[in-house]
């Protein structure tokens, strides 16, 4: 079977608990590696190049885009942000399961570049619970919260392009299920074309 790691893209409603889920997944199992983003914005105090972000200038970032070296990218407030392909490929080749926490436009860019990518979508058990969690943060105005809820309606329309739903009701259960889904993806037929070809060849030789 494949020794290559699985590239997993995790998206979800804001307020669904993606960040906490990803953090816990990575700290509980040692086969995961979080992707490091690339950006053209200036480093903030304390940020380390290659750890928090890969910091590069705009012309270099644009060359990366042209050369197919970005798995996905977006512009935000005049700066580029994206996922460099080389870093992800190195981790996957080393057998690491790479986690990318990005929103859906980025997720679909990644899937187009690397169809093997596993797309997971985090959701709370209900819309009511989502609203409760957003309000419980006490960090945003009601207007901002309503904005997030409207965005959730938009996002709900594209969930069917993902492979699995991660129902984040109990966090520990959700972390364990996420781990199982990613590990079992290694046995999906679509990710094992090479193994299937190999056994076909072997069978033909063995029967003679």
Angstrom distance (rounded) from CA 143 to CA 183: 40
Distance CA 105, CA 167 (A): 21
Q: At closest approach, how far in Å is the CB of 1 from its own copies?
A: 6
Maximum Cα–Cα distance for the chain, whole Å? 72
The answer to whether residues 73 and 83 touch, using CB atoms and an 8 Å cutoff, is: yes
**8 Å CB contact between 12 and 123:** yes
Compare residues 67 and 204 and give the one whose CB is closer to its own copies: 204
3-class DSSP state of 4? coil
CB 88 within 8 A of CB 102: no
For its own copies, which is the closer residue by CB, 47 or 169?
169
User: How near is the Cβ of 193 to its own copies at its closest, in Å?
Assistant: 7
Quote the least distance from Cβ 173 to its own copies, whole Å. Answer: 11
Nearer to its own copies, 63 or 112 (CB): 112
Interacting residues toward its own copies by CB under 8 A: 1, 121, 123, 126-128, 130-131, 146, 149-150, 152-153, 156-157, 159-167, 177, 180-181, 183-184, 187-190, 192-193, 195-196, 199-200, 202-207
**In terms of DSSP bridges, do strands 38-39 and 97-101 run parallel, antiparallel, or are they unpaired?**
unpaired
Residues 6+ apart with CB under 8 A from 31: 5, 95, 96, 97
Is residue 39 a contact partner of residue 50, using CB atoms and an 8 Å limit?
Answer: no
* Cα distance between residue 85 and residue 74, in whole Å: 15
Q: Taking the complex as a whole, how short is the minimal distance between the CB of residue 87 and its own copies, in angstroms?
A: 28
Nearer of residues 58 and 200 to its own copies, judged by Cβ: 200
Closest CB to its own copies among residues 94, 193: 193
Closest separation between CB of residue 164 and its own copies, Å? 5
**Nearer residue to its own copies within complex by CB, 90 or 200:** 200
Name the minimum Å distance from CB 8 to its own copies. Answer: 13
């Amino acid at each position: 079977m494949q020794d290559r790691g699985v590239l997993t893209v995790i998206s979800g409603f804001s307020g669904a608990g993606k960040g906490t889920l990803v953090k816990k997944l990575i700290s509980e199992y040692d086969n995961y590696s979080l992707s490091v983003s690339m950006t053209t914005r200036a480093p903030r105090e304390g940020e380390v190049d290659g750890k928090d972000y890969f910091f590069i200038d705009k012309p270099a970032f644009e060359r990366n885009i042209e050369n197919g070296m970005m798995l996905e990218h977006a512009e935000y407030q005049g700066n580029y942000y994206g996922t460099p392909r080389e870093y992800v490929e190195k981790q996957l080749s080393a057998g690491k399961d790479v986690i990318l926490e990005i929103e859906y436009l980025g997720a679909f860019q990644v899937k187009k570049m690397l169809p093997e990518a596993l797309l997971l979508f985090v959701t709370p058990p209900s819309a009511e619970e989502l609203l409760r969690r957003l309000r419980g943060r006490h960090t945003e105005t009601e207007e901002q919260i309503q904005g997030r809820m409207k965005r959730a309606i938009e996002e709900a329309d594209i969930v069917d392009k993902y492979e699995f739903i991660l129902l984040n009701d109990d966090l520990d259960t959700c972390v364990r299920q996420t781990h199982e889904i990613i590990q079992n993806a290694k046995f999906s037929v679509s990710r094992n074309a090479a193994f299937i070809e190999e056994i076909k060849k072997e069978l033909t030789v063995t029967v003679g």
